[in-house]
Structure 1
Amino acid sequence: MRVLVRGAGIIGLAVAEELLLRGHRVRVVDPAPCSGASGVAAGMLAPAAEASWAAPGVLDLGLRGLALWPGYAERLGVPLAAAGTVLVARDGRDLVEARRQAALLAEHGIEAVPLDPAALAQVEPRLTSRAAGGVLLPGDRSVDPRAVLAALLERVEVDGVDAGVDARVEHDVEVLATGCSLRAPYSHLVRPVRGEAVRLRSDDPPSCVVRGWVFGEPVYLVPRASGEVVVGATVEEHDEPAVPTAGGVRRLLAAATELLPGLDRAAVVEVAARDRPGSPDDLPLVGPTHDPGVVLAAGHFRHGVLLAPLTALLVADLLEGADPDPLTDPRRLLEEPCTTRP
């Protein structure tokens, strides 16, 4: 098929790469490739850690996406960190949240190992000695999204035209993967949810992903092999441009250094904010519309990196005749077109 993909974030590029592998003719258009949420994402492949924050159904999608990542990372030639996630509770009230998370995961048969303060110190000795306890999620993974984007850009050519206008190219179907700015009549299906993140460089980073609550404030720390640590991320519904705020950065750094005091000596190398594309029910919008020439690949909210390879398969399978996934079918939120005449 001749496929026009609008948007060159991790979702659009992953879809395009999968379609190219299957022999389709693909054109990707985006005036600013990789400039959205993908470029600043932390890259947690952590459906277990996200379970209590996610909409119903996202855990199932996330586990399916995680299962694809080892093979996907190997094909792209990017490293996959496999040290798991440690959920850390700073005080007793935070520990209630950690235990609630562990109980939720147990209901789904997902391994979650309770840790008292002594066991927590053995798993991650850089953590504060004042932590009340935590939970180890050994099945979680992480990846550097910037490395993934670079690998995809080596495989997919991007035309730097405005992704929101007619690209004036013959195509059988177009895939809309433009993040928070879907064109009409689909623009109401996504909303911007700002996330702020801080990148640090440390000579003593944590050995695994650390997610925690610090007196009720959620925070995560994702280490890279280079010594970089991504600290994030705020979640704010807003109508303003996505820019870092003093309050958001202060909260992130205060929570991060409370959990890992050694980060006080880390260098700040980047502060950024981007809009995540949220959907009305916080489930992705991957599948057909009532227009047979338009497919959506949008609305991934906090899970774009995790769900990129799964989204690519869902879109490619759909274009080759498969049924849409009922969890992600955008038509659940679209009105049926009027087909009767007056």
Structure 2
Amino acid sequence: MDTARRPTLAVIGGGIIGRICALAAADAGWQVDVYDAGPTRRAAQVAGGMLGALGEGHPGEGRLLDRSAASSAMWPDWIDRLGDPGIRTAEDSLIVATTAADGEYLRQMAQFVWSEQVGGDRLRPLRAREARALERSLSTRVHSGYLAVGEGALDNRRLLAALRIALVDAGAHWHRIAITALSDVTADQVLVAAGMATPRLLPEIALVPAKGEILRLHRNRESVPVPTRVVRARVEGRDVYLVPRADGVVVGATQYEPSALDDHAPRAGGVADLLADAVEIMPGLATYDLAEAAAGIRPCSADGLPIIERVDARTVVAAGHGRNGIVLAPDTAARVVRLLAG
């Protein structure tokens, strides 16, 4: 690149995807400006931060699972780049069932879906007592499960903060403003990574909103210890996850169609189901403090794969990551930088 003048990039969107793409571009020699509408519109504030390709995998999602696994393998280098090892809150995941039927569901997933993405000892079947030996606070109702080695988790809010600091250190400029038209920004290239606001700027990009709730439970002096692994459970046909944080756990997640794009209020039924299933799988959580109940709107694509492509000579889009935004962030950043480089 021309050392006399760095090419300029405007990034519209200050979530995980926008920030990591902006930082990757800055590292590649671009002068970056980030335009962020603020945290109230940011799905990344309401996330578990799991890096598991398996726990999120479903039949027919082979391409997504492959991409998720490859992207997850990039996260250690990114954590080193950010210089904050505390971003990672777990190294592995326990995937457990509470009934024989749930156990059979997990067995079929392991045999017919997950086995194509793993090798060696990355996915280990567990009896109930073996699972409880790894996480002693698990309920005696645990029927069976799997240990997913290397399928850890990140603290999403700590990650957002670390990316912001790294961007400032890299010389990027931050603007707290909602962009309503691409003509509002002046740059050689524009990256639109604005979540559900993306179609307002690029009407040809079709996204489907999915609402999801999470709970944050804080440990107090009477509480059992925080789990050391992500716990993903199947409770009588429902899915729940428990993700460790320094001060407690994040519990999630429901997923359904929102009533509107500004529908950020958690529903009583969703909160009740999450609490009941969390305590069912780890009874000691009943002693934790309920610190937060929140909901976010996830932008989903029609086929489940994120939309990362060049729209025109000046514009690139990265959107539609759905429930996989954090795990897919490094892969997305690499693809965006290649698109910007032509």
Same fold (TM over 0.5): yes
Aligned pair count reads: 319
Asked whether the 8 Å contact 1:34–1:149 carries over to 2, the reply is no
2:286 match:
264
Residue 303 of structure 1 aligns to a residue whose secondary structure is helix
Identity of aligned residues (%): 37
Give the match for residue 172 of structure 1: 188
Q: Which amino acid aligns with 1:108?
A: Q
Amino acid at match of 1:171: A
Q: Which whole-Å CA distance do the structure 2 matches of 1:163 and 1:145 have between them?
A: 24
Residue 158 of structure 1 aligns with an amino acid whose one-letter code is: W
Q: Which runs of 5+ in 1 are unaligned?
A: 322-342
1:24 and 2:44 aligned: no
Q: 1:113 aligns with which of 124, 128, 133?
A: 124
Q: For 1:180 and 1:319, how far apart are their aligned partners in 2?
A: 22
Q: Which residue of 1 aligns with 2:170?
A: none
Matches within 5 A, 1:172-321: 172-182=188-198, 183-186=200-203, 188-202=205-219, 203=223, 204-224=225-245, 226-240=246-260, 241-289=263-311, 291-321=312-342
The 1:54–1:27 alpha-carbon spacing in structure 2 relative to 1, beyond 3 Å, is: farther
1:109 alignment partner AA: V
Identify if the C-alpha distance between structure 1 residues 231 and 139 changes in structure 2 by more than 3 Å, giving closer, same or farther: same
For residues 160 and 238 of structure 1, the distance between their equivalents in structure 2, rounded to whole angstroms, comes to: 26
* TM-aligned CA deviation for residue 25 of structure 1: 1.6
Instruction: Please name the residue that 2:107 is paired with.
Output: 99
Deviation at 1:77, TM superposition (A): 1.9
Tell me the CA shift for residue 167 of structure 1.
Answer: 6.2
Contact 1:286 1:297 survives alignment (8 Å): yes
Deviation, structure 1 residue 283: 0.8
Q: Distance in 2 between matches of 1:248 and 1:230?
A: 14
Shift of 1:165: 3.2
Q: Which deviations, in whole Å up to 9, do the C-alpha atoms of 1:68-102 show, x marking residues without a partner?
A: 00110111123224431101100011101211222
Q: For 2:275, what is the secondary structure of its paired residue?
A: helix
Question: Which residue of 1 is the match for residue 4 of structure 2?
Answer: none
Equivalent pair of 2:152/2:229 in contact (CA under 8 Å): no
The 1:6/1:120 distance shift into structure 2, 3 A limit, reads same
Amino acid at match of 2:117: H
- TM-score (normalizing by structure 1): 0.89
How far the C-alpha of 1:109 sits from its partner, in A, is 3.3
Q: Aligned-pair RMSD on alpha carbons?
A: 1.7
Match of 1:58 among 40, 53, 64: 64
In the alignment, residue 69 of structure 2 is paired with which amino acid? L
| C-alpha distance 166-77 of structure 1, shift in aligned 2 (>3 A) | same
TM-score (norm 2): 0.89
**CA deviation after TM superposition for structure 1 residue 151, in Å:** 0.9
Distance apart, 1:51 and its partner CA? 1.6
Q: Which amino acid aligns with 2:73?
A: A
My pick for the range that moved more, 153-162 or 140-149, is 153-162
Q: CA deviation at 1:137?
A: 0.4
Offset at residue 209 of structure 1 (A): 0.4
- Give 1:92's aligned amino acid: A
* Cα distance, 1:279–1:69 mapped onto 2, change above 3 Å: same
Q: How far did residue 188 of structure 1 move?
A: 5.0
Alpha-carbon separation, structure 2, partners of 1:16 and 1:53: 33
Residue matched to 1:137? 148
Q: In structure 2, how many angstroms separate the alpha carbons of the residues matched to 1:239 and 1:176? A: 25
Q: 1:260 and 1:53 mapped to 2: Cα distance?
A: 28
Q: Is this contact kept in 2: 1:8–1:158, CA < 8 A?
A: no
* Alpha-carbon distance in structure 1 between the residues aligned to 2:227 and 2:59: 23
Native 8 Å contact 1:277 1:298 kept in 2 = yes
> Displacement of 1:121 after TM fit?
1.3
- Which amino acid is 1:276 matched to? R
State the partner residue of 2:93: 85
Relative distance call for 1:31 and 1:109 in structure 2 (3 A) is closer
